Structure 1
Amino acid sequence: MKARKLHARDSPSSSYVPRSDASDEEDEVSYVGTSQSSQSQSQPSEQVKHEVGIIEEIYCENFMCHRKMVVKLGRNINFITGENGSGKSAIIAALQICLGASARTTHRGKSLKNLIRNSDGEQPRHALVRITLFNDGTGSDAFRPEQFGPRIQVERIIRSEGTAEYRLKDSGGHLVSKSKADLEAMLDHLNIQIENPCAVLDQENAKLFLKGDPVDKYKFFLQSTDLYKMRAVFAKVEDETKVRKESTLEHEQRKVQLLENACAQAEKMYEKAKSFAHLEEKLEAVKHSLAWSFVNLKETECATMRAELEESIARAEGHRKNVIKYDAQVEQLTAEHAELKKILETEEQNIAQLTQQQEMLKQRQKQLQYPLQLKNAERKQLEMNLQKSKKRLEGIEREKANKRQRFQEYVKSLESKQARAAQELQAIQNKLDDALETKRQLERRGEVNFTAELNQLNDELDNIKAQRRDLQNERERVSNRLATIRDQAKNRLLAFGNGVPYLNELIQDNLHRFSQPPIGPLGLFISIPEHKNHWTLAVELILKNVLNSYLVASGPDKALLDRLKAKANCRQVSILIAKRSSQRYSGLHVPSGSLRDHAVASILSVEDPNVFNVLVDVAKIESKLIFDSRKEGEEKAIASTSGRSVQFHPNIVEVYIPNGDKFFARKGNLGFIANKTYKHARILSQDHSAEEHELSERLNVLNRQYQVLKRDEEQRIERGNAMHREQEAHERHLQDTSRTIHTLETELNRAKRQQDQSMDTSIGDTTVLDDEKIEIEYEMTTMHTRLQTLNEELEHGDPNIAAITNELSELQTQEHCIRTTLNDTKERAMALYQRLMQSIAKKLKATQHAEKHEADINDKTRDVQAMEAQVEDSIAKATTICPRLKIKFEHPSYYNTQIKELTHRLSVEKAQFDNMDLAELEIDVQEKRGKLNQKALEFQAFSDNVHQVSAMLVERKLKWAALRKEIATRTSMGFNKYMKHRNFAGKLKFHHDDQRLDIAVVANDGGTKLSIVNDMKQLSGGERSYTQVALLMALGECIECPFRVMDEFDVFMDSINRTQTLQLLIDTAKTEKTKQFIFVTPNDLSSIREDRMVKIQKLQPPRDRFAGHP
């Protein structure tokens, strides 16, 4: 859809401005709001300080039906009018979207990307909406004036991927913030309530208000006065407080009790710990004996190590003689092993090359198998998900059965009166459930059967129509070509164009005006020998447009021939200028040898030298050759192929074959172009019988296909009509079911009000389970479709994998042969290597024995020295513990055993007190007593806070109820005031307990009972619309918002009601000079006079309106 231009009315009687061709330019912006009245608004005679937050400008780009559009609004009263489809409501939707509303709020789509303009050409990638708000720039009412200044620009970018972005800019257009939190802070500061239906009333909310029941009207009242939001906040705080009471408070109380028990236990342990202190003296005496027993043990070990050192020195000398013996054997075997090693390295290099090739093939095979593995994994996951979904469906059915069983048992357990009421309620509920199930089945059947089949049928019908159009075009093309061929048999000039015979007549009539007679068409002067007629198509493709060209001798001759060509309407004819000559070109660069006979210059028979020279100059016929086949052409025309570079013989540019295909050499590469134009020669050929026969057969086939498609189209149309009739019957059944559901719901509500309040009907409610079941069934259908697609793709597989597997097998066979030879060589090398290793091992063993004994001697020498030092150190340490004891010492393990026993006894005693001594136990008692006191204080403070919040919430609810009553009273009074303008008395009856709002309207005819109307459906359409406007104006007095928007507020009104309603709106708006009002209507506003406070803007009709009226 193309963008629509908008403009303001210069006067109440202004008319539409016709579109110009420039309206389709991409950079054109449509402006609204440039009338004289808007200019007068900018300089009012009376200075009025307007509220911050009013809208100065709305800009849309690629949004809904607008490509680029600017709406400049007045600061008080604005009327926007235009025909249906002109984009009025798109302006309101842009306002809502830009200030934070969702796509569903505007009732214009399920997603923001649905609001991007649809274009016949390239689809826009994003949409942009921008709102300019008045910010005053000074004072406390302005929002961050130091950042934004006197204007705030709010932008929202909507992208086709589904993402969106906010931008807040200052008055100069500089970016300030992209955060939605800043946008919400601005809306809160300026008191802009974009989702308040009283502040912004769109078409859908207006229709809902007119058709809504008392419950909907009461909800509308709460939302409009912000009471609904306050109540939701109270409910949230109450739930949070209840959670704190039930969980956090009890949890903290348990913590205090645990701390009290821990403190008492610590004090008890401290008193008991004072009773033990006697085992430590005995432990100390055993430790002294242990210290000197270590000294005695070290002295004994030192004497033994001196004897072992002398024995090791004697053994070391025998092993040094064996090392020299084995060294000679190792040198001989090493030389023989080196020769075999060179042979093995050569074979291993060959295997490495084969292995590398196999790895490359395996990597390619793995890459080809990876998509199949992914699809197989996805298929297994889908199968698992389907099993889970089936089990969940069975579980849902069991839960529903259990719920119904529990509900029936619960009903039977009530007293007789409650049981009868519950049974009646259950009966109605069962009927309602059956009716709802019937409705859901009908809706599902309608969505699945009708929508899917109708969409499929429409797609098939569109496909058939497209095929019919293509066949019709092909039939016309073939018929025209047949007619042309048959006409050519009578007049050959028709082959060059339908206007060429007339052009030749004009040339003959004006021959005296030419300096030299024109020659043409040039194809008349060209012929091909009979034995080369099969090359005619290739010749025509080489000559192309030269065949239907004319040759003149000068520029004036060309100008004259151009005029004659235009008169004969021969646009396809071209004109060439060349000096006349009686001789052909000599010294042509024709290929040498046998290739000369294949050059086009040698094939053609041209009597006129001027025509021949033109063909050489324009078509390069001396360097273009024709062969019977591509193979023959490549063999004879290609001179060499060095590496990958291809070169033709000299003087050859292109080579053709009889079907029109050609190949050429460019930068060493051989290029090939297939002929996709036509299969038969049309100008130079004298015999068109083959083409005529082929075209006749083709035309017969096309006619039969056309009749088949026509019959299929008629069948699809008949099926569509039948399905529409069936769908209408289905919709009537659905409407009857809906009326039944409405009746049952009314009876169910009546039965519930009569039933005892203790009756819990939620036990048998299966709505959530039914919704879950529908969702799971939909997901299973999607998974079945995807699973079927995966099975089809996996069944075909990839043929490239088999080819790679075969190549791998060949490489593995080669590798096996090489490895067999390699293994034989390895066995010989291994045997030699084993002999070498044995000699080396014997040498190493002898060397190791010698070195071992040398090292052993050194180690034992160091050990003896170390042991002597340890003896001295042990004596020094033991002396620090106590003087040397003159007793017979036992082994240290004896003393260790005694120490462990004493330590265990001490541990057992201390384990009773968590391994703490008396001082630590005293500190533990003090710490636990301090934690208990701190937690008790925290618990008391938290408990007091929770109870205080509960008390404050009760107080707030009472104030909210009083505020609701006050607003209801003021709204009812305001409603009555506005109804009096129409000679009516109105009253709003608020039933706060039942959440209902009834509207009573009394005609001013004496106040009889018969003149009271409580049901709005009894009023006329205009009276209902006026009642709606009166209620909205009354509610508007109870809210604070810098601007108010009403879309199509005057629907169903007659001219009298509309005039009075418009005057009421204007008078009311003028009393609130600081606020802004925007009214949108498709109706005539000729009864309104523009002034400095009232601005009327008219939108141009939709583009399709101009299509029929240029």
Structure 2
Amino acid sequence: MDDPMSMFIERPKAGIVKKIRLENFMCHSNLEIELGDRVNFITGGKSAILTALCVAFGCRAKGTQRASTLKDFIKTNCGCALVHVEIKNEGDDAFKPQIYGDVITIERRISESSGSTVLKDHRGKKVASNKDELRELVEHFNIDVENPCVIMSQDKSREFLHSGNDRDKFKATLLQQVNDLLESIDHRLKTADGIVCELEDSLKPIEKELSELQEKIESMKHVERITQDLQELKKKLAWSWVYKVDGELQEKLGGMERMKDRIPIVQAKIDSKKRALDELRQHLDEKKNQIANMLEKTSEVRRKKDELKETLSLASKEKFELEQGCKRYVAEIQKLEKDARFLEQQLQEMHEQHVKDTQAEESEIEEKLKELQFVVDAADSEFTRLKQEVTELSECVNQGMAENRQRAEEIGGFEKQYRLLSTRIRELQQNRTNRVTAFGGERVINLLREIERRYRRFRMPPIGPIGSHVTLVNGDQWASAVEQALGNLLNAFIVTDHKDCLLLRACAKEANYSYLQIIVYDFSRPRLNIPHHMLPQTNHPTTLSVLQSENHTVLNVLVDVGNAERQVLVQDYDAGKVVAFDSRKNSNVKEVYTLDGYKMFSRASVQTILPPPRNRNMRGPRLCSSFDEQIMDIEKEASEVKEQAQECRRMKREAEEQVQKLQESERSAKVDISVSHRDGRTV
């Protein structure tokens, strides 16, 4: 009889150390040992093997209590050391079997100046060389080499043997509990064997009686009776078929009558749906007409913009000419001032000359000098006033032209915003018609056509884009925050293996879809069950909690790739800071997103807050249940932008008229300066 305990023991298949090889490590030049699946007894090299396992699984040198640095493990007179560990990777608990296969090799090479760790697959091909991959492997197999319950060094075992009493040590081994369990199982097996024997003994007389009855039955059989019974059974079978078919016929007739009664109701529903379809088509035609009108108005705005640019160029040219004329007039004014000073000097000389003349002519000359002086003073005052007026008019002209340039820039900004809003309206209308286009536009439609064309070549049909397979729970409140949290992951596709990944990449190339994100994931894996203690301990929702999907693979990818279960969504900035930076309560929180677009996270002691993206307002959420409200809001915003542009054009026209008036006043002032200049020369 087989061992009764063998049925309760499952042979381990993953996480078992298969082979250890040491080169120039501690006192061993070349040590290689193969280990069994369960208990292994080693009589020589125990410390070196335990230390090598600790070093291979990422333990620091001080953690082994055998050396202070890793280079101390190198054998004397040797340049480097190598620790080679092979681990079985089979069964359901295997670590990334599609990458590593059934054996994982860990090689840690130690030199005088540095050290390196390499993970290889079952063929010896290098897979990874970073510590994160090794740490993930150790956590997957629950190998904690620094825990004395896993690996106990000589010093730790010595401390264990000298601590406590024998009774506590025996109790700690749980051998008594195992012995009691084995005795209980043995007692149950003996009881079951006794019951089986009793049942077998009770069956023997019944079997004997059964054989006697069988012999009597065989002797009592008669061929004629059997033939008669057979004929009767055939007749009954025929009539049973008749009754059955008649019942089914009556049931079908009743169903047909019920269906006839439902025809008017169904026809009414069809008519209602047709009317709704006609209304939607009419609404679509209206929207198309509105878009055409908007495009026509946009072309008109572009034409006006070109005219304004041409006007601005002419105004700039005229401004330059006016500035040159102003400079000439200023030079003439300066020349007039010089002439006035010269006249004053001549007057002074004439005055001195006439003093020497007769006393009778002196009074007449003084009278004439006063008149000339009055004329000169009036000319100087007029020159000064005209010069100040020309300067003020030039400043007003420059200010008006600067305002016109600013208005032109504002009009250009409004036109650009109007074009962006019109483009967004067309995108939303397209997304309303086909929701898939929200996650890649026309490129994703072309890609889906290529996938459908090569459908039979895939091992499993690709899933994607991910955004088309998820919906929001309880409204669209968190739509923008969820899209910011997941980002381009909503555009990604999921395949089951590397071969399908290459085939999908070829389809994307044919569809002219560059930089497509493809995620390789096992479709047969069931829905992930996340323990409560691994989730954020908060009352706020997470990205995963506000999403739903009929495909378990999509939800698993959101967890494994996007960490959606650790992304917390909050209402405002203050609540986000409390959730993101209180590490004592929310150790499982990776990132926090607010409704107004802020992103917060903490890494070690560094706290980071990122502001909302610039294009957040121009690009609405793609996960919302209805696009009609977004279209109406953007159309309203486009109408407001259009009105603002028209108001800006009106103000620009008024400013241009004002500039023209100022330029006319400036030209008139320059004419007055010329007249005054001629009068001064005449004097």
Could you say which TM-score interval applies, normalised by the shorter chain? 0.3 to 0.5
Which has the bigger relative contact order, CA under 8 A and spacing at least 6? 1
Larger Rg: 1
**TM-score after normalising by structure 2:** 0.42
